[in-house]
Amino acid sequence: MCGLFGIAGFSPIDGKLKLEPALQVLTSRGPDDHGFFADDYLRLIHTRLAIQDLSSLGHQPMETSDGGLVLVFNGEIYNAPALRELLEAEGEAFRSSSDTEVILLGYRRWGDEIWRKLDGIFACALWDRHQRQLTLTRDSMGIKPLLWSETAEGLVFASELSAIEAAGCRAPIDAAALQGYALWGAFAQPQTILKDVQAFPPGAVGHWHPGGRLILGNLRGVPCPRRLSAPTVIPSTLRQAVEGVRERLHQAVLSQTIGDVPVGSFLSGGLDSGILTALLQDCRSEPVCTLSVGFQGLPGAVDETERAKATAKHLGTDHHAVQLGPAELDRLFDTFLEAIDQPSIDGFNTFVVAQAAHLLGLRVAFSGLGADEVFAGYSHFQQHHQAMAEPGPVLAGRLPVQLLRLLGWHLQAYRLRGYAAALDLRKIPFSGLPPSTIASLLASRLDHADDLAGLELAGYLRDTLLRDTDAVTMHWGLEVRVPFLDQELVRYCLALPSAWHLADGPKTLLRQAFVDRLPAGHSQMGKTGFNLPLGPWLLNHSRFHPARIAGLLKPLGISRRVVLASWLYCRLQPQRWQPYWRWVVLAEWCALNKRLV
């Protein structure tokens, strides 16, 4: 894992943009090494977090021996050994054991076909000096970030918004993107908080030449992961489907143990992280380092460190528990704001556990992200399935699912509004947006939604969970791997009947496949995770008083009324802190980045 930055000019670059500040911003993503490349039309920066081939042979930007191709790469290619064998059979000679060189020589041999062959997580920028062509690409699940902007001078791209700004490309805040943030608590890709700076589409490849525009195309026809090609063999029974899940997840974990550094696992005490840790332990000769988070002095917190400890003992891991209280939150909050790159309602929890992993010397950690989306783990998967299977009334179905649930009528919403009803659970109340704007944002998220899994994969997972996880973990020089989003596993699971996923409750296939690997009764426990109880902390900290937060947000046009309403909601129900947290993070991030003047 690494950080990258580049400037491609319509004409020879005159040095107006500043490379050194961009390098400094990206250093936390790549603390082990850094490099520069300069051509008449291009400047590249790379900071390296060494995972495969820790020697200087893995240095980037990496060039072919004739200097014709230059590559900067952020990510991990899990099938690099297999691709290396193919390339060697075709006559390519390697100087290193890094996956970077596999991509570089693979492109020289196969051109853009190399991107289709990669199994991994990646963002790449490759310069062909002879053709004067820049190629940008990103993995199909959108796990690794790549941001870009076209200016009057040319094209700028990077792993982080902060690097683009540090180089001198300071863009105004995007008022339209703020509307999505107000509703979802995250910026809906391709939008970012900055006007005219976009997230590069997942599963896409772009080509740029001096004097032209970036031309985008999709590697698989469309960028949405739910539409990847179907698996070659579809099982005919639930038992066969369970076996298929077991085989594919085991293979995904095994392939992702690649690397030459210590590996750990985030262990929340829940089903997903327990399964991953068990499979990871199977692949390691020494005990896996596991981490969990507990809470002290935070009323209402659900502390599951004992469950995590029991799982760790059962699996024989080297377990560490981090205890958090108000003092730790005070100490970490400003650093979190620096790490997050742009405001989000999520990420503080992962930031905390990533710091703990960093202090233990870990470079790689496994996470259960993606399991709820791929294996129908959220409650609305089952509710929607039940509503579609049981015809019934739709009266009052236009009311929010949250309200109808109190009356026991929530199925009516799914019967009337289908997938749109599930988005009620993703909307953050007190957005201050007019109904017409909310309707437009809902329609945008529903566009091309074939099923709930696709809706979640392309929405909440990509825009919030994956983006935030990458930002806050890479701040600590920690690479996170997500085997539940393995391409083959995702293709397989999304091709199966939804009824199989829910045959005996959420995550049926996952539970049945690995019930024997966890402590007795563990597979029947409800959904869990590293959930920070921020309500009491927010309410008892003068820094977060609503008068101050509303004052900070006034220049952005955020109404004092919606800020106060969100704060009152948190005061009445401290466990419902997310609506107010949305405004706190936005206000504090803008203040830190001098965006309120």
The token pair at 21 is 């500040």
Classify residue 186 by its DSSP letter.
S
Angle of CA points 246, 143, 145, to nearest 5°: 170
Identify the band that residue 40 occupies on the pLDDT scale cut at 50, 70 and 90: confident
Q: How far apart are CA 221 and CA 204, in angstroms?
A: 9
Taking only the tens place, the pLDDT of each residue in 402-423 is 999 999 999 999 999 999 999 9
- The CA distance from 74 to 82, in Å, is 20
Angle between helices 560-572 and 546-553 (to 10 degrees): 150
Pairing of strands 133-138, 147-150: unpaired
φ/ψ of 324, rounded to 5, equals -120, 140
Rounded to an integer, the average pLDDT of 447-473 is 93
Virtual CA dihedral for 314, 315, 316, 322, nearest 10 degrees?
Answer: -90
Asked whether the predicted pLDDT for residue 162 surpasses 70, the reply is yes
- Write the single-letter amino acid at 382: Q
The two tokens of residue 222 are 């469309």
pLDDT above 90: residue 523: no
Tokens in use for 547?
């008068």
Domain ranges in the chain? 2-223, 237-374+456-524, 535-592
Percent of the chain with pLDDT over 70: 94
Considering only 110-119, 123-132, 295-304, which range has the smallest mean pLDDT?
A: 295-304
Quick one: tokens of 192? 């970012």
Q: How confident is the model at residue 177 (pLDDT cuts 50, 70, 90)?
A: very high
Angle at 530 between CA 552 and CA 487, to 5 degrees: 105
Which of 225 and 314 is assigned the larger pLDDT? 314
Q: Which helix (H) or strand (E) holds 199?
A: strand 198-199
**What is the fold of 2-223?**
Glutamine Phosphoribosylpyrophosphate, subunit 1, domain 1 (3.60.20)
The 10 Å Cβ neighbour count of residue 62 is: 24
Q: What is the mean pLDDT of residues 528-544?
A: 83
Residue 230 has pLDDT above 60, yes or no: no
State the chain's maximal CA–CA distance in angstroms. Answer: 70
* Bridge-based pairing state of the strands 289-295 and 263-266: parallel
Residue 481 pLDDT class (50, 70, 90 cuts): very high
Give the C-alpha separation, 120 to 59, whole Å: 20
φ and ψ of 208, to 5 deg = -140, 140
pLDDT band of 12, cuts 50, 70, 90: low
**Strands 62-63 and 69-77, sheet pairing:** antiparallel
Residue among 543, 536, 479 nearest 333 (CA) = 543
Question: Which residue is it, tokens 């989003």?
Answer: 485
Q: Give 211's DSSP letter.
A: T
Q: Three-class SS of residue 33? A: strand
From 123, 121, 128, select the one nearest 201 (Cα to Cα).
123
Q: Give the chain's mean pLDDT.
A: 91
pLDDT of the residue at 341: 96
Distance of alpha carbon 491 from alpha carbon 59, whole angstroms: 34
Q: What is the pLDDT of residue 224?
A: 33
Does residue 222 surpass a pLDDT of 50?
A: no
Question: Residues 484-507: pLDDT tens digits?
Answer: 999 999 999 999 999 999 999 999
67-124 pLDDT, tens per residue? 999 999 999 999 999 999 999 999 999 999 999 999 999 999 999 999 999 999 999 9
- The pLDDT, as a whole number, for residue 220 is 54
Q: What is the mean pLDDT of residues 464-469?
A: 97
467 pLDDT exceeds 90?
A: yes
pTM over 0.85, yes/no: yes
575 pLDDT exceeds 80?
yes
For the domain 237-374+456-524, what is the CATH code? Answer: 3.40.50.620
Report the range of poorest mean pLDDT among 23-32, 212-221, 283-292.
Answer: 212-221
Q: CA-to-CA distance for 544 and 487, rounded, in angstroms?
A: 42
Q: What percent of the chain has pLDDT over 90?
A: 79
